[in-house]
Structure 1
Amino acid sequence: MRIELTDDPAAFRTRDWSDVVAADPAGTLFHTPAYLKLWWEEFGSGSLLLAAVLDGDRTMGACGFEIVQGQLRFLGGFDVTDYMGPVARAGLEASVADQLMSALADERWTGADLRGLPVESRWFSAVDAAARARGWEVRQEEDGIAPMIELPGVAEAYLQGLPAKLRHEIRRKARRLAEESGGYRVRWSTPQTVAADLDRFVELHQSSPGPKGRFMHAGMEIFFRRLGEAFLPLHLFHLAFIEVDGRDAAGAIAFGFKDTLSLYNSAFDREFGRLAPGMVLVADLIRGAIESGRTRFDLLKGDLEYKYRFGATPRPIGRLLLSRH
C-alpha cells in the first residue's frame, strides 16, 4: 500500500472515500467526504491535509486533518463533529494507521490533538500504537462520553427491557402531553418544508437560555442549513417536530447512517416545558428507529442525565495527545 497527501480541497470529490466509510465498522456520517467538505468550507481555519491510503488505484483508507498554528488535528473541529479520525476497509486499521503516522512524520507540526475516537474502536489503539512506534510521546485522555442504546427488533421489547421506573416515565410523559394538550403529532421535514422548518428550529434553539442559546450563532445556522440541504434529500438528515395545537413544541435533528440513528441536536419551546415535549419526541425517535430496522440509537457526545432516562449506557470517547522531539 502507498499513501497520497494533498492540501487540495478538490480531493473531497476526486478522492471520494464514501465506500470506505461504509465498509469501516466505525465509519459514521461524520467521516464522509461530503460532511467533512461542508465542515471545512464553514469552519476550517488551518492548513488542510487529506490522506488516502491506496492499493493500486483502490482506496483502502482515508483521513482528513488540519494543522492549526502548528497543531495537528483530525478534520472536524471540537464543537460539532462527534466522531473523527481515519476510516479503512475492515481489518486494515493497524496498517492504515501506520501509513498515516509515517506520512505525517514529514509534515510541519509540533504537537497533535486527535479527538473523537471511540475507545472501544480499533482506531484508538491503532493510532496510539502507530504513533509510539515512531518514538513520539503519546498521552491518552477522555474526549467525553457518547451514551448509546442497543436496540431490539421490536419497540415493545425496548420498553420492557428498561427498568420499570424509566419505562413508566416514558409512557407517563407521552400520556400527559396528549391529555393536557388535546393531542399531538410528530411531523417530519421534507425537501419542500425544510427551509421553513429550520427557521423554526433555529428560533427554538436561540430562545434557549445560556450556552445552548448562544450556540446557534449566524455561522452555525448556515452550517445547519447546509447540512439539511445536502443530506435530507439523501435520507441521512432527519428533522422532526412534536406539533401541539398547530405549534411546534419541540424539534430534533437526527442522522440516519447505516444501522444507527444519531440524535444530533434538539430544542423545545419553553412555553411547553412542563409537558416535556422534547423527551416525548426522543422516545418517538427511538421507536421509529426500531421500526425502521436500526440496531443502535446514538445520543452522541454529552454526558447529560436525560440521555440515561432512555436506557442508554456510557460510551467513552478518547483523545490522543502526541508530541515529538
Structure 2
Amino acid sequence: MHTDPEILLVYDRDTCVGIVPVHIADGTVRFITDERVTDVTGFVYLPRYADDIARALASFTKQEGLRIELYPVEQNDPLVHRLADCLSNAALTRADVNPLLELPVSWNDYLATLTSKSRHELRRKLRKGHAVRLETSAPNAIESLFELMAHDARKRQFLTPEMRAFFAAITTHFFRNGWLRLRCASIGNTLVAALLTFSHHRCTYLYNMGINPQYTPLSPGIVAIALDIESAIIEGNRYYDFLRGDEEYKFRFGARKQYTVSLQA
C-alpha cells in the first residue's frame, strides 16, 4: 500500500487495483469529503480485489495505530462490509436516507408503478404546467441556477463565493466527461426551474435545484423533475437517484428508501 497526503493506493505488483480517497489527520482515516456538498462517497477498485483491499487497509490502519471514520458510503458497497469484517470493534451503522427510483423501460410503465394518488397528482401538475419545456444547457448556465437557488434563504446562505467556484468547476469538468445534465425549465423565454443533475453508469443523480418563486402555483420543480425522469428513461437509465434527504416529494415520485452507512473502528 502506497500513501501520500491525500489518498491510499493499493497495488498488485505494478498495477493499481484500488484507490481509497482518504486523508489522515489526528490519527484518524477519513474520506476526502465536505458534507455540505458530498451526499455519498466510496472506494474506487476492481471488484475482484475487494477482499485484498479490505485486508490491506485493515492491516495498514492496525500497524499505524489509526482509527477509521468512513462516511457516507453506499450501503451496498461490498468493500465497506468486508472492511468491517476485517477490523476489530467495527461499527457499521445507517447514516442518511438517499431515496432511489428504479426506472422501467417506458414512461407509461413508470406511471403504472405509482400509487393512484401520486399518479393522479403528477398528471394534474403536468397538465397545469404543460407549457414548461426542459432543455439541457451548457456549463455557463450554472449562473442561472445560482440565481434561482438564491430565492431560498437557506440556499442563498450556502452559496458562498467558495461554493459558487466549486459548482462552476465541477460542472465544467463533468461536462467535459459527458456526465453533466444541467437542465433548465422554461415557459417561453422565462426560466422557471433548473436542475443540476449528473448521469453515470445508467444512473441519473439529482444533485441540486432552483425554482422561480413567481411560478410556484405551477409546481415548476415537480414538473421539471418529472420531465427529467422521462428523459432519463428515454436515455436508457436504470435509476434516478435523489441523493441525500428524505423529503416527501421524492417518495411521491416512487423512490424507495436506501441509506448510506458510516464505518467506525
TM range (shorter): over 0.9
User: Which shows bigger deviation, 234-243 or 98-107?
Assistant: 98-107
Contact 1:117 1:123 in 2 (8 A): no
Q: Distance in 2 between matches of 1:77 and 1:143?
A: 15
1:152-167 aligned at under 5 Å gives the runs: 152-167=104-119
Q: Distance in 2 between matches of 1:274 and 1:127?
A: 49
1:234 matched to 2:168: no
Contact 2:10 2:53 in 1 (8 A): yes
Q: Distance in 2 between matches of 1:274 and 1:185?
A: 16
What's the counterpart of residue 219 of structure 2?
A: 276
Deviation at 1:215, TM superposition (A): 1.6
1:139 matched to 2:139: no
What's the counterpart of residue 4 of structure 1?
A: 2
Q: Distance in 1 between matches of 2:149 and 2:25?
A: 30
1:71 matched to 2:28: yes
What's the counterpart of residue 155 of structure 2?
A: 212
1:150-229 aligned at under 5 Å gives the runs: 150-178=102-130, 183-190=131-138, 194-195=139-140, 197-209=141-153, 211-229=154-172
Deviation at 1:106, TM superposition (A): 4.1
Q: Structure 1 unaligned segments of length 5 or more: list them.
A: 8-47
Query: What is the DSSP-based 3-state SS (H/G/I as helix, E as strand, rest coil) of the residue aligned with 2:128?
Result: helix
TM-score normalised per structure 2:
0.94
What's the counterpart of residue 17 of structure 2?
A: 60
Q: Distance in 2 between matches of 1:74 and 1:147?
A: 22
Q: Distance in 2 between matches of 1:66 and 1:53?
A: 15
Deviation at 1:91, TM superposition (A): 3.2
Deviation at 1:128, TM superposition (A): 1.0
1:121 matched to 2:69: no
Q: Which amino acid aligns with 1:103?
A: F
Query: What is the DSSP-based 3-state SS (H/G/I as helix, E as strand, rest coil) of the residue aligned with 1:266?
Result: strand
Contact 1:75 1:85 in 2 (8 A): no
> CA offsets, 1:87-123, max 9 Å, x none?
32123222211112222334474x4321122223313
Question: Structure with the greater relative contact order (CA < 8 A, sep ≥ 6): 1 or 2?
Answer: 2
Match of 1:100 among 57, 68, 77: 57
1:262-301 aligned at under 5 Å gives the runs: 262-301=205-244
CA gap 1:90/1:70 in 2 versus in 1, 3 angstroms:
closer
Q: Which amino acid aligns with 1:54?
A: Y
> CA offsets, 1:116-137, max 9 Å, x none?
22223313311211222xxxx3
What's the counterpart of residue 317 of structure 1?
A: 260
> CA offsets, 1:197-245, max 9 Å, x none?
1111111112202x33322211111100001111112220111011013
Query: What is the DSSP-based 3-state SS (H/G/I as helix, E as strand, rest coil) of the residue aligned with 1:105?
Result: helix
Q: CA RMSD in A?
A: 1.6
Q: Distance in 1 between matches of 2:208 and 2:255?
A: 17
What's the counterpart of residue 100 of structure 2?
A: 148
Contact 2:132 2:223 in 1 (8 A): no
Contact 1:205 1:213 in 2 (8 A): yes
> CA offsets, 1:230-281, max 9 Å, x none?
1112220111011013111111011110111111111101111121101111
